[in-house]
Structures are given as C-alpha cells and as structure tokens.
Structure 1
Amino acid sequence: MNHVHRATDPNDERRVIRPKILYVGTPVFLVATQNPDGSSNLAPASSYWALGQMLVLGLETDGQTIENLRRHPELTVNFPSGSHWEAVERLAALTARDPVPPAKADRYRHEPAKFAAAGLHAEASDLVTPPRVRECALQFEAQVRRMTPGWNDDYVLVEAEVVRVHAAAGIVAEGDHIDPRAWQPLIYSFKHYFDLGDELGWTRSSPTAPAAVSDVR
C-alpha cells in the first residue's frame, strides 16, 4: 500500500499557482545600444543566460533596444552591483521610444537621455560602438549573431558573442577569473532586488575555491 504524506507544516504544503512572471532569481544587466541619431540608449533587463562566449538575452519586442539592434547589431552588457539598484529602478520606467508604445503608456515615459536620468556615466568601448556603463564592475562588449522571434510577439531572443570583457581590478582573481567573493551582482527575484548574500559553497571545478577544500570536493 502506498502511503501519501500529509503535510502538517504550512511551509511543506504545495499549491498550484500561475504567477505572471517566473523571475526566480536572475542577474540584472544594462544593455547599451546605438540610437538612429548616434546617441546611446540604455535599458535594464534580466532574462539572461550564457554558454561559453555566447549570451542569450530575452528582450521586449516594443523596446528601443531591439529596434537599435536590428539596425546596428552591437551592444554592451553591463552588470550592476547591489548598490546600484535605485539607478536600475529609475531606468525601469523610461523608454527611448517616441511616441511611447500604447502597451507602455501607463507605466513608461519617454526619455532620450537615459544615462543622465539614471545617474550613470558612459565610457567608450574598445571594439563596439555602444558605450559601457562606468559604474558597473563587469562589462561585456558583444556583437549580435542571431535574433529569433519568440513564440509570441512579446519578446525576441538575441544571441550575442562577447568580443571583450572588462572587469574592475578588485574583482579579478589570478588566471583571469572573476572572484565571486569580491563582487556582488544585483539579482532580480519576483520584482525585488537582492545581492548574492552569504557564500554557501562551491562546485568542485571552481577555480576560485580554497585549494585545500576544493581538492576534497
């Protein structure tokens, strides 16, 4: 006979839900692209994953970022730390689209000078036209290799190859590794901002784990 466990602790119970978003916890990044007039657009996003030197970014269809990438397929991807969450939130209500798309009219306002509005500063890139965000300790210069429409009209999947990485000296460990103890990226989880918090452990292949313990694992 199979015995079904009946939870007595409310924290053990499971409910079937249908949340509007599924941002369990992803890094916030700021995408800089080139506007038609040669100025720079800056937009926050958090749909991201990476494999090797390739990034896959999920970007909204009706944003200026996608329009810019279709015309000029270069970008920078800049990762803010937890202390920058207010700058990110200021950007979240702005769009460079003019007029503002109807679906965004009640939540966004037109703003062409995104860097200034967020209190951030642009610095020149080496290999691509869009600038980097000076305040971000980790910055990627990238070139778009493919753009794929999503299964509906709300988003586009952008595959971009990273052609140069800039990292603040204070977060770089020996061997060109990012030291995860020295840098706290901004994390977006169900519309709230967090940093990484306390370290819990590491994988056995981590190049920045303590050597003596890493060997055991």
Structure 2
Amino acid sequence: MHQLSEPAILYFGTPVVLISTVNEDHTFNLAPMSSIFWLGWRCMIGLGSASKTTANLIRTRECVLNLPAVHQADVVNRLALTTGADPVPASKQKRGYRFVPNKFETAGLEPVPSLAVSAPRAGTCPVQLEARVVAIHRMGEEDEQQRGRLVSLELQILKVHLDAAILMDGYPNRVDPDKWRPLIMSFQEFYGLGQKVDTSVLASIPEDLYRMPQSKNAGAIS
C-alpha cells in the first residue's frame, strides 16, 4: 500500500561524481555531487547556485567529471563538508561546511593534466570525462522561494579516459558492466551495485547503434 509522502530530497540512486574545475587564481577545485545523467556524449548536472563549482563552470565553461569506484568512498568523505568558496555561503555554514583551498590534497588525489580542457583529471578515479558547458538553465525560477538557488548545466563530453581494468575484453571502446563498480549515492548514503539480476532485452541491441555524431572537438578514448 502506498502512502503519500514529502521527502526533503529525492536522491533515489545516482553515481557519485567528483567535478574538477579551475578557480580564478588558476588553482583547482574538486567537489562531490550526484545529480547527474547522460544521453550519448551529453550530460546534465544539477548544482546549487552558491557553490564554487557552479561559479567556476559558468565562468570557464569547462570541467572534468571524475567517477570514483565503490572502494573510494573515503575519498568522497574527505571532500564532503568542504567548499572552495570563501567566505562559506550561509546555506553551507548551516550544514557544517568549511573552506578548503586545496581540494585535491584534501582528497588525497593527484591532479593529472587533461587533453581538451584546463581542469585536471582526478588521479585514480577509473572514469574521467573532460567536458564543456553548452547550456545553462536556472531551475525553479517560477517559484519565488526557490528562485536563484538551483542550476542545471548541459555538458558535452570531449574526451573519455577509462581505466583498462573496467574495459570489456577485446573491446577498447566498451565498458564491462561486470567490471565497473561505481559508487552510488542513495538518500545521502553510499552504496555499490549488486550482481546482475536478469538479462536486459535492450542488451540485444548492438551498443554502437546508440552512438551519436560527435563534434570535431570530441575525441577518442585515451
């Protein structure tokens, strides 16, 4: 039997992502988030308007989406209550955030140069997606109480870097879902994927049939 409910958040389960961006002084920011989904080589992310990551994305129009594996929850926790914004926004002060200028050092990750963007990739994360912002949408603008608080950004993926350990044997351009174990956020808690429960009918469609035309700026996997 269903019950009418009003949860404060609706995080039913999405991958955790560490977004790396470039600050005004050319240092690097690294922030965890999990409001994200992909369609082809396009991606939508949702962020709070007051975050340093949002400001950097709007200013530079580029970033790297670094996806940690299930065993890297400790890396995300080291960043969880930190912000690159100084002073710390009031909304984050209430939640216990503190200003940290060197996010990569705090996370224990090494910044690795990217190929197409100025933002670095995050060391040992198995998936690293260089991207640029192609559209910005202010969310909740029709609601006086929410106006100005949330923003969604459409990203175009430019370069994909995958750890060889998660690739399908014999297929350099395919991720093996039995090898890739992403870190999942569900209602503020960390989870991993379980075993495959059944064979999907959609899996009978060759994956290459989903490939969309890429712009000249998008490149091969490295």
Write the letter of the residue equivalent to 1:205. Answer: L
Please name the residue that 2:49 is paired with. 61
Contact 1:177 1:207 in 2 (8 A): no
| Count of residue pairs the alignment pairs up | 197
Contact 1:82 1:195 in 2 (8 A): yes
SS in 2 for 1:58: strand
Q: Deviations over 1:173-211 (max 9, x none)?
A: 2151110101100000011101102111232332799xx
Please name the residue that 1:155 is paired with. 150
**C-alpha deviation, 1:122, in angstroms:** 1.1
Please name the residue that 1:186 is paired with. 183
Please name the residue that 1:145 is paired with. 134
Please name the residue that 1:198 is paired with. 195
Mark the CA change 1:208 to 1:132 in structure 2 (over 3 Å): closer, same or farther.
farther
Q: Deviations over 1:41-70 (max 9, x none)?
A: 000010011111100000110000111112
Contact 1:177 1:208 in 2 (8 A): no
* 1:105-184 to 2 correspondences below 5 Å: 105-106=93-94, 107-151=96-140, 152-173=147-168, 174=171, 176-184=173-181
Q: Deviations over 1:96-129 (max 9, x none)?
A: 1001011111310000101111112211111111
Are residues 1:17 and 2:14 paired?
A: no
Q: Distance in 1 between matches of 2:187 and 2:132?
A: 29
Write the letter of the residue equivalent to 1:147. Answer: I
Contact 1:179 1:208 in 2 (8 A): no
Write the letter of the residue equivalent to 1:161. Answer: Q
Q: Distance in 1 between matches of 2:184 and 2:28?
A: 24
Mark the CA change 1:207 to 1:90 in structure 2 (over 3 Å): closer, same or farther.
farther
Write the letter of the residue equivalent to 2:11. Answer: Y
Mark the CA change 1:55 to 1:65 in structure 2 (over 3 Å): closer, same or farther.
same
Larger radius of gyration: 1
SS in 1 for 2:128: strand
Are residues 1:91 and 2:79 paired?
A: yes
TM-score (norm 2): 0.85
TM-score (norm 1): 0.87
Q: Distance in 2 between matches of 1:90 and 1:208?
A: 40
Q: Distance in 2 between matches of 1:20 and 1:186?
A: 22
* Structure 2: tracts of 5 or more residues without a match: 141-146, 207-222
**C-alpha deviation, 1:34, in angstroms:** 0.4
Mark the CA change 1:17 to 1:69 in structure 2 (over 3 Å): closer, same or farther.
same
**C-alpha deviation, 1:89, in angstroms:** 1.6
Q: Distance in 2 between matches of 1:102 and 1:207?
A: 50
Please name the residue that 2:35 is paired with. 47
CA RMSD of aligned residues (A): 1.6
